[in-house]
Chains A and B, each alone.
Chain A
Amino acid sequence: MISFLAKRIMQAVAVVLATASMVFFAVFIIGDPAQLLYSQNASAAEVEAARRYLGLDLPLYQQYFNFMGGLLHGDLGRSFVYGKPALGVILQRLPATLELAFASVVLAVVVGLPLGLYCGLNPRTIRSRLIMAVSALGVSLPTFWIGIIIMLAFAVNLRLLPTGGRGNTLTVLGVPWSFLTIDGLRHLLLPAASLALWQASLILRLTRAGTEEVLRQDYVRFARAKGIAPGRILWVHVLKNVLAPVVTMVGLSLGGTIAFSIVTESIFSWPGAGKLLIDSIYAFDRPIVVAYLMLAVTIFVLINTFVDLIYAAIDPRVTLGAADSGS
């Protein structure tokens, strides 16, 4: 357990450093932020002063070492645009993204898991064939398209829900949250649903396939032969075996949603970190872009580690060392 975590942390650090370096150079190649930050009619001397202030006049390798040096002290640099520490700027926007991501995953699990179980237990009914057909659409339609369609349907045409923004928020622990107010929930619903559809469809299909597979297993027949009640067979024998792979899937999809809710945030003007990333890329705000991607990688690794721990807790055959080399 300890050695598993130590190994994971070392892996994470290596991945984060490599990501940071790649992104640093990639963004450098794209363009010179000083040109964009200052108006067209700024004098050459002004731009030069700005470059010196931001450290952009130094040779590339020098900038890189300064950046990496700062990194080791937990300093990801200052945003060129906001003039504030990059990490702080992102962390300020992160709760909105986390809120949206968690809301969509919860929605996806609440919808996908029971429906998948239903379809697995009753594969031949018309209802489950209908559900499977909808889920086939759900996994193949692009998320941005879903977002636009449900916005048009529910917000623009039916006017049932707002088109964008976070709505009223309630501040807890110094962070504003939408899900704590009715108005906020109304704002959260459409973007969360558009992110949830794909995940729910995937969870549904995985659960359905898992349930059908597990029901065929001898241990389910043996449990029936022992005279165990159907309820216990379903909740203890079947569900536990179905759940193990679903947990992995949910973890991965949570990570993906946090890192890539960019498009949905843009469509619904959700003021999260994804929208910040897009704005920062346009502005050549390198520290923000680098810090964002590093944070995304870190969150990914954290979630993966957490998923492996849960998996090992569910399935005694999985040892953490093996899970580590397997993933």
Chain B
Amino acid sequence: MSEPDPILVVSDLNVSLASGKRMTPILREVSFALRPGEILGIVGESGSGKSLTASAIMGLLEPPVRIVSGAVAFKGRDLAALDEKAVRAIRGNEIAMVFQDPAMSLNPLLRIETQMVESIVAHDRGCSRHAARERARAALETVGVPAAAKRLRAYPHELSGGMRQRVSIAIAMLHSPAVIIADEPTTALDVTIQAQILDEMTQLCRKNGTALIWISHDLSLLSSFADRICVMYAGRVIESGPCGEVIGAPRHPYSRGLILSVPAMARAGKDIEPIPGYPPRVGMVPSGCAFRPRCHRASPACAVQPPLQTVASQQSAACFHPFDDKLQVPA
């Protein structure tokens, strides 16, 4: 079986926070690839650098945070090396984004219509106002917004949280992008609406062949629909691979700890095992393997940074002492 070429390749991405002359690294050597139409889940505790990775790909980092080195290759072009204008032509057009909190991501003073039409016109100069409105209405209907024509005239505060997030998703899908980055898009919503929106969005992406990067701190949620999973810890990708392998046979002690600390995913008959301690804060990351202070497999070898290396046919982990057995998942 031959894999299609990746559409987005992030390689050795280093992002730092500049304060005076000091540079505090936040993302380190982040690398992963996204194939067309694939759903990639990025998981990690809060503060592990997931949102920053998304911002770096979109070219949305703001000073004092910036890319120090590394590449974001989209269809063979390095976005990190393009000028702002060229990246803007790609943003919202070929790579779109959905943010976490739908209450914050729509401008409260502008009608839904204004916010959708401006997105259309930004990339289709020639599109008439009337045609743009028609496209906006159709896009709302696609994501399951009832009475779309009426909703277009509404202001964000007149819609429920779920409806607002559907609007954001409709905006992201306006130009049929090749990639959508969704940064915890359902975290702020009610559980029932979470499931609905997740279903609708993943189905639409699969139907349109849109590749999806779904960022979440919830591994059990991701495991239900992602094709592949990247686990992040303290600004690094520490394990990645096909969803089934990462969930079923996690190699890195942190990934394994993450899975065993989720009640629904822990081994049958066993208590959940929370990971001891806390993740390090930015600027306080220990040298060598960042997970070392919390790791029960740590050895003196771990005082050096372990590289992300292949541990199984498609699975990589950054660990000197990776597990090689499967987890027994409850039936």
Interchain residue pairs with CB less than 8 A apart (11) = A221-B105, A222-B106, A225-B97, A227-B92, A227-B123, A228-B119, A236-B110, A240-B110, A244-B109, A314-B109, A317-B155
User: Does any Cβ of B come within 8 Å of A217's Cβ?
Assistant: yes
Judge whether A227 and B93 touch: CB under 8 Å.
Answer: yes
User: Does any Cβ of A come within 8 Å of B321's Cβ?
Assistant: no
- 8 A Cβ contacts from B92-122 to A: 92-93, 96-97, 99, 101, 104-110, 118-119, 122
Asked, given contacts A218-B101, A221-B99, A222-B168, whether A227 binds B122 with beta carbons under 8 Å apart, the answer is: yes
Contacts of B118 in A (CB 8 A): 223, 226, 228, 232, 236
User: Does any Cβ of A come within 8 Å of B89's Cβ?
Assistant: yes
- 8 A Cβ contacts from A162-219 to B: 217-219
Contacts of B88 in A (CB 8 A): 227, 229
User: Does any Cβ of B come within 8 Å of A315's Cβ?
Assistant: yes
User: Does any Cβ of B come within 8 Å of A224's Cβ?
Assistant: yes
Name which residue of chain B comes closest to A238, CB basis: B107
Name which residue of chain A comes closest to B90, CB basis: A227
User: Bound complex: CA of A292 vs CA of B137, how far in Å?
Assistant: 57
- A227 contact from B91, B101, B106, B155, Cβ within 8 A: B91
User: Does any Cβ of B come within 8 Å of A241's Cβ?
Assistant: yes
User: Bound complex: CA of A127 vs CA of B244, how far in Å?
Assistant: 57
User: Does any Cβ of A come within 8 Å of B171's Cβ?
Assistant: yes
User: Does any Cβ of A come within 8 Å of B157's Cβ?
Assistant: yes
How many A residues face the partner with a CB closer than 8 A? Answer: 22
Judge whether B122 and A226 touch: CB under 8 Å.
Answer: yes
User: Bound complex: CA of A221 vs CA of B61, how far in Å?
Assistant: 10
- B99 contact from A218, A236, A315, Cβ within 8 A: A218
Asked, given contacts A227-B122, A227-B123, whether A241 binds B91 with beta carbons under 8 Å apart, the answer is: no
User: Bound complex: CA of A41 vs CA of B96, how far in Å?
Assistant: 91
B324 CB to closest chain A CB, in angstroms? 41
User: Does any Cβ of B come within 8 Å of A237's Cβ?
Assistant: yes
A245 CB to closest chain B CB, in angstroms? 12
Judge whether A315 and B109 touch: CB under 8 Å.
Answer: yes
User: Does any Cβ of B come within 8 Å of A316's Cβ?
Assistant: yes
Asked, given contacts A219-B106, A317-B108, whether A225 binds B58 with beta carbons under 8 Å apart, the answer is: yes
- B110 contact from A218, A229, A237, Cβ within 8 A: A237
Contacts of A218 in B (CB 8 A): 99, 101, 104-105
Interface flags for B14-46 (1: CB within 8 Å of A; 0: not) read 000000000000000000000000000000000
User: Does any Cβ of A come within 8 Å of B311's Cβ?
Assistant: no
Contacts of A314 in B (CB 8 A): 109
Judge whether A219 and B123 touch: CB under 8 Å.
Answer: no
Q: Which of B108, B123, B171 has the most C-beta atoms of chain A within 10 angstroms of its own C-beta?
A: B108
User: Bound complex: CA of A126 vs CA of B168, how far in Å?
Assistant: 38
Interface flags for A229-261 (1: CB within 8 Å of B; 0: not) read 100100011001100100000000000000000
Judge whether B104 and A219 touch: CB under 8 Å.
Answer: yes
Which 9 A-B pairs have CB atoms at the shortest separation, nearest pair first? A227-B92, A218-B104, A226-B92, A227-B91, A225-B97, A222-B105, A219-B107, A316-B155, A226-B119
Contacts of A244 in B (CB 8 A): 109
User: Bound complex: CA of A4 vs CA of B231, how far in Å?
Assistant: 56
Judge whether A226 and B171 touch: CB under 8 Å.
Answer: yes
Judge whether A316 and B109 touch: CB under 8 Å.
Answer: yes
Known contacts A221-B99, A225-B97, A240-B107, then 7 further A-B pairs from the complex at CB < 8 Å, ordered by chain A residue: A221-B105, A225-B91, A226-B118, A228-B92, A228-B122, A241-B109, A317-B155
